[in-house]
Structure 1
Amino acid sequence: MFVIDYIVSTGASVMMPLIFIILGLALRLSISKAIKAGLMVGIGFIGLSITVNLMIDSLTPVSHAIVERFGLNLTVLDVGWPAAAAVAMGTRVGALVIPVCVAINVLMLYTKTTRILNVDIWNLWHHAFTGSLVAILTDNLWLGVFAAGLNCVITMVIADRTSKDVEKYLSLPGIAVPHGFSVSFVPAAWLVNAIVDRIPYVRDIKIDTEVIQRHLSILGDPASLGAIIGAILAIIAGVDVKTILQTAITMAAVMTIIPRMAKMLMEGVYPISERIQEIAQSRAGSFGQISIGLDSAVSVGHPVTLSVSMLMIPIMLILAAIIPGNQFLPFASLTGLPFAFVLVTAVCRGDMFRTLLTGLLTLSLALLIGTSLAPIVTSTAVSTGFSLPNGASSISSVDYAGAMLPWAIIQGFDLKAIGIGVVTLGSLLLALWNRRKIVQENLQLVQESHIVVAETGEKS
């Protein structure tokens, strides 16, 4: 625990290179290749972090101006994901979540209930968040740890089921995204796809980067699209011309730089991923493909993801003002919305129309969920010594207190034995269903490889 805590305390930009170097050496890569892989991952994470922080610094005053202009006066303050993560990792559940989730990942790999090797250790705080709230709610540490474990299992299954979409539509082969916040929006995306596919004419609507480039060429370029959306947000906020121009240029830079930083990070991931595939195939041909689990930051710069996220900032503020029963004022989390849509973009096949529909549904629910969980989030924060902002009596966050997955688990544990049983059984069934899918997919891979071998032999 001391070693793990020390590594985590160094931050993602140091922690991830260390993990990849150690992993590379354990997989018997040469020392030079392992070190280079780790350094490229670290450089990519630093580049992504700097660019995302640049976006946050630019959009925060614009978001604040929009809040003031709308005159929103709601009682639950949004403290953002950094505060939520600090609260989650500051509890007793947070102290145990890393070894527990690592053990779950290893067990799921051996039982073939997942194909993901998750190295995104830092974002295990999402599971700790769920577990911490359950521990406070039930006054039982071990129920909290158990809830965190179930959150981990469900997240891994959903990440597995979206890995092909991540490869195809986000251009990230061999990568999965077991990021708690991103995963929580996937069921809604599946639902939206299912509904839209059954509506004539509506199902034919498609707005992806190719369509935009064909009809509105200037919007098809990420830099131009970022500049236009940034300028529109600033104009809505009613800021001066100087700030409008600065916001537009910054968003153009963000849309251009993030994909390049992600590509650099992937240069470090590929050697590890390829080596894992080699070992898996040599030791067990039916084991199939293994995916590396990474932070959703690897694809936060997709044009559809960023575009929908920025469009949802003013929309979410309007929703906060008009949805009955909402008391949650979104603010600090607004600039983190891209992380919510990474997997939604993949599941919606890169279609902006369906991604936006999913955003309207999920973020409307996020406001009500954030309001619902505010009392227990506040209690948990206070118990860890977290200082509430001046004038705030109740706090929450879109990430992770506004997500459907933790809310569902917490509601289940609040129902005592019956609810806990339902959530546990549901998680087990999901894992077994995923195992069945994995076995079928592995069998298909083996059959396809035999066909290729046979065809090669005939040609020879």
Structure 2
Amino acid sequence: MGGLSEAVHGILNVGPSVMLPVIIFIVGLFFRVRPGKSLTAGITVGIGMIGINLVINLLTTSVGPAAQAMVKRFGLNLTVIDAGWPAVSAGSWAQPVSAIMIPIILIINIGMIVANLTKTLDIDIWNYWHIIAAASTAFIITKSWWFSIVCGIIYEVAVLLIADFTAPKIEEYYGLEGISFPTGSADAYGLIGIPISMLVSKIPGIKNLDADPETIQKRFGVFGEPMVMGIIIGIALAALGGYNFPNILKLGMSMGGVMFLMPRMVKILMEGLIPIQEGAQKVLQEKYGNRKLYLGMDAALSTGAPATLATGLLMVPITLFLAVILPGNRVLPFGDLASIPFFVALVVPSRKGNIVHSVISCTIMMVFALYMATDFAPVLTQMMNGIVKFPHGAAQVTNLDTGGNVLNWLILKFAQVLKPLF
């Protein structure tokens, strides 16, 4: 098992910009795309992923410090610290059950496609850690290998079904034809956020508000341009963090750059995926008629839409405010604040990019997330103990990506209920 774990980590450490071209090339050959075309497609996807990661790095390294500055400036003092998704990912991979889950995840996914139980081929292996976190949660509570594996499979099935269900909206709103998002955090937040957004859209006085980027641009002219919106939001975040004037302008320009560059990086990646998707659909139509296949990709692709980025960035100060006022909440949002734009990936298209509806919906969604993350803290603290360095002053640690994730929380409750049987 140790050897398998080392092999898995060796592959993952290469990174998506190298592994994705290899995966795309293999998938292309499987679906009878010419080798040269498959190779070109894979390289194009890898280059697109490099661009996306560069922009995401600009986003997280800019928003993260601003959020931390807000925490310090307003003197927020809560005892459970959000350690961020990298810490929980490391804690999940450190559990004994983690290595065996990779082949199991692949087998289950392929089996479900063959049995026509899912249309999503999940090639986003870096986000398999969400499924592994579910299995690791069950293992920490019960110490049962087989039960942990079952919990991981349940989580995977749920993620694939949500990805299938939301794929038409992904295609329609983001323009990502043949793509779905089997990303555990985005799917779990969507599971709560989409029903909430449907209710929000029926509230008198709010339901008629048109606040998608196109309408904002028409109404406010240059101030409605996505890059200008990014600059304004960046300036607001920096001001809340107490930045000096030059740094306020720097953060504003960085967020304007993210808004401008991300759609272009996603477009490059999609140029590589189109021939593979066309090849897959041709083979499936020959064999199964009108059956469709989605390529499962990282929900980070959603940040190519200005409304998704705007909603996610606006949710940073709102989440901090909620953490302070909610009775019974003990979580100090911290490490995952910069990841919030990825959490809203499925909520925004359900509202056709209406930023007002999306922000209201995500605010309600985040209330549930904070309470779940508080409840999850003891188990996540145990998962990360000795694996990562805890933030200074933290009595316990949790995170929003996993702890505030309803699918993981349901696995937690399931394992706790059945624990006496083990």
Q: Is the aligned partner of 1:159 residue 2:163? A: yes
How does 1:242-321 map onto structure 2 within 5 Å?
Answer: 242-286=246-290, 288-321=291-324
Structure 1 residue 259 displacement after superposition: 0.8
User: Structure 2: which 5+ residue stretches go unaligned?
Assistant: none
Aligned to 1:140: 144
2:28 to 5, 8, 24: 24
Classify the secondary structure of the residue corresponding to 1:117.
strand
Kept after mapping to 2: 8 A contact 1:320/1:329: yes
Aligned equivalents of 1:128, 1:396: Cα separation in 2 = 16
Cα RMSD for the two superposed structures: 1.9
Equivalent residues in 2 for 1:7-406, closer than 5 Å: 7-286=11-290, 288-382=291-385, 385-406=387-408
CA contact (8 A) 2:83 2:390 kept: no
* Distance of 2:229 and 2:219 partners within structure 1: 13
Q: Can you list the C-alpha shifts for 1:298-344, whole angstroms capped at 9, x where unaligned?
A: 12131111111111111111111111111111111111111101111
Amino acid across the alignment from 1:248: G
Is the contact between residue 142 and residue 419 of structure 2 (CA under 8 Å) also seen in structure 1?
no
Q: Tell whether the 8 Å contact from 1:218 to 1:225 is kept in structure 2 after alignment.
A: no
Q: 1:162 to 1:419 in 2, by over 3 A?
A: farther
Distance 2:369 2:159 in 1: 18
Moved more, 315-324 or 341-350: 341-350
Matched to 1:112, the amino acid is: N
The alpha-carbon distance between structure 1 residues 334 and 57, as it changes in their structure 2 partners (threshold 3 A), is same
When residues 389 and 174 of structure 1 are mapped into structure 2, their CA distance, relative to the original with a 3 A threshold, is same
Matches of 1:174 and 1:299 in 2, distance apart?
14
Q: CA deviation at 1:390?
A: 4.2
The one-letter amino acid of 1:22's match is I
Letter in 2 for 1:403: N
What is the deviation of 1:3?
Answer: 5.3
Task: State the 1:34 CA deviation.
Answer: 1.4
Q: Secondary structure at the match of 2:81?
A: strand
| Cα contact 2:190–2:345 (8 A) shared by 1 | no
CA spacing shift, 1:201–1:385, aligned 2, 3 Å: closer
Tell whether the 8 Å contact from 2:336 to 2:399 is kept in structure 1 after alignment.
yes
Q: Relative contact order, CA 8 A, sep 6+: which one is greater? A: 2
1:277 shift after superposition: 0.2
Q: Which amino acid aligns with 2:296?
A: G
Give the Cα–Cα distance (whole angstroms) in 2 for the partners of residues 217 and 92 of structure 1. Answer: 56
Match for 2:138: what amino acid?
V
- Deviations along 1:327-373, one digit per CA (max 9) or x if unpaired, are 11111111111110111112222211221122101212211111111
Distance 1:112 1:101, change over 3 A: same
CA deviation map 1:139-160 (0-9, x unaligned): 2122111111101000111111
Contact 1:188 1:362 in 2 (8 A): yes
Secondary structure in structure 2 of the residue aligned to 1:378: helix
Q: Is the 8 A contact 2:200 2:360 kept in 1?
A: no
Q: Distance in 2 between matches of 1:274 and 1:142?
A: 39
Q: TM-score of the superposition, structure 2-length normalised?
A: 0.95
TM-score, length-normalised on structure 1?
0.87
Q: Which has the larger radius of gyration?
A: 1
Partner letter of residue 376 of structure 1? V
Number of the residue aligned with 1:452: none
Q: Give SS of 1:300's match.
A: helix
Query: How far 1:418 sits from its partner (Å)?
Result: 11
Please give the secondary structure, in 2, of the residue aligned with 1:216.
helix
- CA–CA distance in structure 1, aligned partners of residues 419 and 337 of structure 2: 37
Unaligned 5+ runs, structure 1: 421-460
Alpha-carbon distance in structure 2 between the residues aligned to 1:146 and 1:209: 43
Any idea what SS the aligned residue of 1:38 has? helix
After superposing the two structures, state which structure 1 stretch, 109-118 or 255-264, moved more: 109-118
Distance 1:409 1:418 in 2: 15
User: 1:234·1:243 contact (CA, 8 Å) conserved in 2?
Assistant: yes
Structure-1 separation of matches of 2:276 and 2:7: 23
Q: Secondary structure at the match of 2:207?
A: helix
Work out the CA distance in 1 between the residues paired with 2:156 and 2:346. Answer: 17
How many residue pairs end up in the alignment? Answer: 418
SS of the residue corresponding to residue 399 of structure 1 reads: coil
The more displaced of 155-164 and 95-104 is 95-104
Q: Letter of the aligned partner of 1:416 in structure 2?
A: L
Match of 1:453 in 2: none
Deviation sequence 1:164-211 (CA, Å, 0-9, x none): 000111111111111101001112233224323544443222211121
Q: Secondary structure at the match of 2:130?
A: helix
CA distance in 2, matches of 1:385, 1:216: 49
Judge conservation of contact 1:189–1:348 (CA < 8 Å) in 2: no
Q: Distance in 1 between matches of 2:337 and 2:256?
A: 18
Q: Counterparts of 1:45 and 1:51 in 2: how far apart (Å)? A: 10
Greater shift, 130-139 or 56-65, is seen at 56-65
Counterpart Cα distance in 2 of 1:272 and 1:90: 35
Q: Percent identity?
A: 35
Query: Equivalents in 2 of 1:237, 1:166: separation in Å?
Result: 34
